[in-house]
Amino acid sequence: MVGTVRMRLTLLYAAVFLGSAVVVLAIPLLAVKATERVGSPGAPVVTHPNSQLYHQFVGSAAGLAVMAVLSVASGWLITGRLLRPVRTITATAREISVSDLSRRMSPGTRRLLGRSDEFTRLGETLDDLFGRLEAAFASQRHFVANASHELRTPLTAERTVLQVALADPCATTVSLRSACEEALRLGEQQERLIDALLTLATSERGIERGEPFDLATVAAKVISARDCGDIRLDVTLEPAPVSGDPSLAESLVANLVDNALCYNEPGGWVEVVTGQVDGRSVLAVRNSGPMVPPAAVESLLQPFRRLDGSSRVRRGGGHGLGLAIVHAIACAHHAELTVRARPEGGLEIDVLL
């Protein structure tokens, strides 16, 4: 492509130069009106251009031919020098995309150009692109590694339970039944993880076609199917019409409510509110619970990110996919998601659609 652009620019430069030269050369021709009468009286009249102007025109035409060759050659050299950063950027980008996404090209481009111009800004733009790609691939590798670990854990535990039960020569009906129940529980845990991964993948794919529904109706359906235990649930559901995927919206509400119930404290509370603010529908979920460091809030939106420690949220309540699913569904609906850590403990989460 660079070679084609170079040839086009060379021909363009040569055409502009030759066109200008032809115009300049045509000016003397317009002045060649003087003629000389040659021969004796009664003989035919023969006219020819003024000799001095004629020789000037021939010399100019010869010079024009030489300059045409020089203009093509100089245009080829100049365009080659101008397009050299493009070749450098193309080669570097090809090497980066094939071998190492951590490399960058803008420093080399600056050294090549010695100043800041369009090529340097192009290199910086590609650097930003490669930086985002590197982060995306790193996140994907991290996600795959965590997903493999989370899927392998219940399988290993299930195999261990069955092997222990089968290897026991004194196994009874009661012990075998207990082992089978434990294996079923681990299977259900694995099934929930797979469902969460599928929901996350579906959410990240986006919405092909939305349909209108009421967020309050979805929230009421989700809340009616939840067992709150000793957690007080305060619900205020006002109409909140939106357009999108109702099944994904149900997953969003379910994950928010489950997260608020799971990561809470004995005798705590959860507040669920739907309504409209400035003409936009909003879903707000707030809950009591352990203190969450404000700096760690953003990381909770990433897959398999869980806070541990006795002073923070407790482990074992999930796989760390709940808020990641919420974030993906909110992005698919072009919604505004705000997550804040409450100074008293717990979270405040607002989804503005």
Same domain, 340 and 268: yes
The boundaries of the domain holding residue 199 are: 139-205
Same domain, 195 and 156: yes
pLDDT per position as a tens digit, 215-236 = 999 999 999 988 888 899 999 9
In a domain, 327, yes or no: yes
In 3D, which of 302, 296, 309, 305 has the Cα closest to residue 347? 296
Same domain, 218 and 158: no
Q: What percent of the chain shows pLDDT beyond 70?
A: 75
Q: What is the CATH number of the domain that holds 179?
A: 1.10.287.130
Same domain, 232 and 171: no
Same domain, 338 and 220: yes
pTM flag (> 0.75): no
pLDDT per position as a tens digit, 344-353 = 989 999 999 8
Same domain, 226 and 273: yes
* Rounded-to-integer distance, Cα 247 and Cα 238, Å: 20
Same domain, 148 and 219: no
pLDDT per position as a tens digit, 260-277 = 998 888 899 999 999 998
Same domain, 56 and 162: no
The domain tally of the chain equals 3
pLDDT per position as a tens digit, 90-123 = 777 777 766 677 777 655 555 555 555 677 777 7
* Rounded-to-integer distance, Cα 21 and Cα 31, Å: 17
Pairing of strands 232-237, 269-277: parallel
Same domain, 249 and 271: yes
Same domain, 189 and 231: no
- Among residues 190, 205, 220, the one where a domain terminates is 205
pLDDT per position as a tens digit, 45-97 = 444 545 565 666 666 677 777 777 777 777 777 777 777 777 777 777 777 76
In 3D, which of 151, 104, 160, 153 has the Cα closest to residue 132? 104
- Residue the block writes with tokens 């060649």: 32
